[in-house]
Amino acid sequence: MAVDKKVRTVCTYCGVGCNLDVAVVNDKVKSIQAPYGAEVNQGHTCLKGRFAFSFYDHPDRIKTPLIRRNGALEPASWEEAYDFIAEKLVAIREKHGPDAIAGISSARCTNEENYLMRSSYAQLSAPTTSTAVRGYAIRLPLWACNALSAPARPPIRWRT
């Protein structure tokens, strides 16, 4: 298969950080291979990392944050979404106390993303109960892990 370009990237299926070489034709992913010279995976990858890439261009893929307004989901900017999340979490904390806020993370998150989650909850003074996921002790909400494609943003300033 003739490819337009090969792009070296990092797999998003877990936090291991396997390197992948992505073959691109007409701006579409056509195949993925694990490079032998990669320190992390040395030419190996799991089945998901190697073959599960059809969702990248799927028409049902959500590519922007959505906020429910008047019963309907409406597109929002990342700034609006982060502010909405912060406002709701602060309101829950104010009304029900920090024990009312719980979170869960995913093995797909990197250490840096897990750290972001933990520090966000520390700012909320949420409980420090931790659990182990793939060997990492975490207590993090899922919403930040799902915001991986968001542009970089300074730490959230919680309104109190």
Say if CB 68 and CB 80 are below 8 A apart. Answer: no
Please give the CATH topology (third level) of the domain spanning 5-57.
Answer: N-terminal domain of TfIIb (2.20.25)
The CATH 2.20.25.90 portion of the chain extends over 5-57
What pLDDT digit, counting tens, does each position of 77-104 carry? Answer: 999 998 998 899 889 888 988 877 777 7
pTM exceeding the 0.95 threshold for the entire prediction? no
pLDDT at residue 159 greater than cutoff 50: yes
Say if CB 19 and CB 10 are below 8 A apart. Answer: yes
Q: Which tops the pLDDT comparison, 68 or 11?
A: 68
Predicted local confidence at residue 77, as pLDDT: 95
